[in-house]
Amino acid sequence: MESEPYTSAPAPLPARSREVARALAAAGIPGRVRELAESARTAAEAASALRCEVGAIANSLVFLSGDQPVLVLTSGRHKVDTAALAARWERPALRRATPEQVREATGQAIGGVAPVGHPSRLPTVVDEALTEYPRVWAAAGTPHTVFPTTAEELLHLTGGLLLPVGPTP
Ligand code: 5CA
């Protein structure tokens, strides 16, 4: 194989990422998922691997609001102000999901949680800060897979609500 003069076909995506690719294709955006050589487990790692601003990384963070898992697509440049967001979203207090709860709600593991490709649709907020970036990157089911998108597209993909989520200055 090594002596072949041409580049081999790309390896198939991991199962978790195929699920994400399927959800994207079903929404009219096929062929978006990219596999990275470097790990992109955190926003900082993803920004470095993709050579983009950390704020352009959309972290898919799972919280529990009461008993209901919810998704907050958050710019990597700041943390979620959970109290302010729960008030704005008019939902019960938000608390960080455990790794097991993340897995149950999304079918994905922390470090690779994607905005879509979950067993059922989660109530979703898209961080207003993401609208400041013409191109946003989100995880695609594993720490080594991502896809390029925009805040507007994330709203369309998730049926989410656009709200500020970061700390108020
Ligand atoms: N692949 C990148 C983005 S392309 C990524 O998944 N980033 S992330 O921020 O969404 O995933 C890491 C996040 O998982 C951390 O920001 C943190 O909020 C969350 N996390 C890490 N450890 C835990 C834990 N033990 N329990 C709950 N959440 C955790």
Strand runs labelled E in the chain: 34-35, 57-65, 68-75, 94-96, 124-127, 136-139, 145-149, 161-163
Q: Which of 61, 82, 101, 118 to mutate to test the pocket of ligand 1 (most atoms within 8 A of CB)?
A: 61
> Looking at the domain assignment, is residue 168 inside a domain?
no
> Looking at the domain assignment, is residue 169 inside a domain?
no
Q: Which CATH number does the domain housing residue 110 bear?
A: 3.90.960.10
What tokens appear for 5 in the block? Answer: 């003069």
> Looking at the domain assignment, is residue 18 inside a domain?
yes
Nearest CA to ligand 1 atom 8: 59
User: Given its phi and psi angles, is residue 111 left (phi above 0), alpha (psi -120 to 50 degrees) or beta?
Assistant: left
> Looking at the domain assignment, is residue 50 inside a domain?
yes
Pocket of ligand 1 (CB under 6 A): 40-43, 46, 57, 59-61, 96, 98-99, 110-113, 137, 139, 143, 146
Annotate 135-161 with b (16+ C-beta within 10 A) or e (fewer): ebbbbbbbbbbbbbbbbebbbebbebe
> Looking at the domain assignment, is residue 74 inside a domain?
yes
- Give the pLDDT score at 2: 54
Report which DSSP code applies to 2.
T
Instruction: Tell me the per-residue pLDDT of 103-142, one tens digit each, with 9 for 90 and over.
Output: 999 999 999 999 999 999 999 999 999 999 999 999 999 9
Expressed as residue numbers, the domain containing 45 is: 12-163
Report which DSSP code applies to 25.
H
> Looking at the domain assignment, is residue 24 inside a domain?
yes
CB 127 within 8 A of CB 75: yes
> Looking at the domain assignment, is residue 114 inside a domain?
yes
Q: Which of 33, 34, 42, 95 to mutate to test the pocket of ligand 1 (most atoms within 8 A of CB)?
A: 42
Beta-ladder partners of 57 = 137
For residue 102, report the distance from its CA to the centre of ligand 1, in Å: 10
**Number of compact structural domains in the chain:** 1
* pLDDT tens, residue order, the chain (169 aa): 555 677 667 778 999 999 999 999 999 999 999 999 999 999 999 999 999 999 999 999 999 999 999 999 999 999 999 999 999 999 999 999 999 999 999 999 999 999 999 999 999 999 999 999 999 999 999 999 999 999 999 999 999 999 999 998 7
> Looking at the domain assignment, is residue 137 inside a domain?
yes
Question: How many Å apart are CA 129 and CA 55, to the nearest integer?
Answer: 8
For residue 2, report the distance from its CA to the centre of ligand 1, in Å: 37
